[in-house]
Structure 1
Amino acid sequence: MPRKLSNALTAMTVKSAKPGRHADGGGLYLLVKESGSRSWVYRFMLKGKSRDIGLGTAGHDAISLSSARDLAAALRLKVKAGIDPLAERQREAEEAVAAAQAAEISRITFRQVAESYIKANEGGWRNGKHRQQWRNTLSTYVYPIIGDLSVASIGTPHVLKILEPIWQDKPETASRLRGRIEIVLDAAKARGYREGDNPARWRGHIAQILPKRAKLQRGHHKAMTYTEIGAFIAELREREAMAALALEFVILTAARTSEALGATWREVDMDKAIWIIPAERMKAGKEHRVPLSARAIEILKITKAQGKDWLFPAEKGRALSGMAMSMLLRRMKVDCTVHGFRSAFRDWSAECTAYAHEVCEMALAHTIGNKSEAAYRRGDLFEKRRRLMADWAAFCEAGTGTESNVSPIRGSAG
Structure 2
Amino acid sequence: MPAKNLLTAMQVKNAPVGKHCDGSGLWLYKRADGGAQWILRVTIHGRRREMGLGSHDDVSLGEARRLAEKWRALVREGKDPIKERERLSREAARSDSRLQNVTDAAFEARKAELKGDGKAGRWLSPLELHVLPNLGKVPVEDIDQRDIETVLKPIWHTKAETARKALNRLGIVLKHGAAMGYDVDLQATLKAKALLGKTRATSTKIPALHWEQVPAFYAEIGEATVTQLALKLLILTAVRSGPLRMAEWNEIRDDVWTIPAEKMKSRKDEADDFVVPLSGEAIRLLDVVRPFERDGLVFPSIRKGPISDMAMTKMLKDRGHEFRPHGFRSSFRTWCAEATDTPDKIAEAALAHSIGTKVQRSYLRTEYFERRKVLMERWAKFVSDGGADVVRLRVKNG
Q: Is TM > 0.5 for Structure 1 vs Structure 2?
A: yes
Match for 1:353 among 340, 354, 360?
A: 340
TM-score if structure 2 supplies the norm length?
Answer: 0.68
Q: Which residue of 2 aligns with 1:278?
A: 260
Q: Which residue of 2 aligns with 1:248?
A: 232
TM-score if structure 1 supplies the norm length?
Answer: 0.66
Q: Does 1:320 align with 2:307?
A: yes
AA in 1 matched with 2:161: E
Match for 1:394 among 381, 391, 395?
A: 381
Q: Does 1:138 align with 2:127?
A: yes
Q: Does 1:298 align with 2:280?
A: no
Structure 1 runs not aligned, ≥5 long: 1-97, 402-414
Instruction: Please give the residue correspondences for 1:25-64 in structure 2 after superposition, counting only pairs within 5 Å.
Output: none
Q: Aligned with 1:367: secondary structure?
A: coil
- Give the deviation of 1:200 after TM superposition: 1.2
AA in 1 matched with 2:355: I
Match for 2:181 among 180, 183, 192?
A: 192
AA in 2 matched with 1:396: V
Percentage identity across aligned positions? 32
Q: 1:101 to 1:329 in 2, by over 3 A?
A: closer
**Whole-Å Cα distance in 1 between the matches of residues 317 and 274 of structure 2?**
30
Q: Aligned with 2:287: secondary structure?
A: helix
Would the aligned equivalents of 2:258 and 2:275 in 1 still touch at CA under 8 Å? yes
Q: Which residue of 2 aligns with 1:265?
A: 249
Q: 1:224 to 1:276 in 2, by over 3 A?
A: same
Would the aligned equivalents of 2:251 and 2:258 in 1 still touch at CA under 8 Å? yes
Q: Aligned with 1:263: secondary structure?
A: coil
Q: Aligned with 1:276: secondary structure?
A: strand
Q: 1:153 to 1:301 in 2, by over 3 A?
A: same
Q: 1:209 to 1:302 in 2, by over 3 A?
A: same
Indicate the RMSD between aligned Cα atoms, in angstroms. Answer: 2.8
1:73-123: per-residue Cα shift (whole Å, max 9, x none)? xxxxxxxxxxxxxxxxxxxxxxxxx99988974762222211111223324
Instruction: Please give the residue correspondences for 1:76-95 in structure 2 after superposition, counting only pairs within 5 Å.
Output: none
Match for 2:211 among 198, 201, 226?
A: 226
**Whole-Å Cα distance in 1 between the matches of residues 161 and 242 of structure 2?**
19
AA in 1 matched with 2:322: D
Would the aligned equivalents of 1:277 and 1:288 in 2 still touch at CA under 8 Å? yes
Q: Aligned with 2:257: secondary structure?
A: strand
1:332-364: per-residue Cα shift (whole Å, max 9, x none)? 211101101111111111222222222111111
Give the total of aligned pairs: 299
Q: 1:393 to 1:185 in 2, by over 3 A?
A: same
**Whole-Å Cα distance in 2 between the matches of residues 375 and 100 of structure 1?**
44
Q: Which residue of 2 aligns with 1:174?
A: 163
Q: Aligned with 1:250: secondary structure?
A: helix
**Whole-Å Cα distance in 1 between the matches of residues 320 and 140 of structure 2?**
48
Q: Which residue of 2 aligns with 1:122?
A: 111
Would the aligned equivalents of 1:122 and 1:131 in 2 still touch at CA under 8 Å? no
Instruction: Please give the residue correspondences for 1:364-383 in structure 2 after superposition, counting only pairs within 5 Å.
Output: 364-383=351-370
Match for 2:152 among 140, 152, 163?
A: 163
AA in 2 matched with 1:259: P
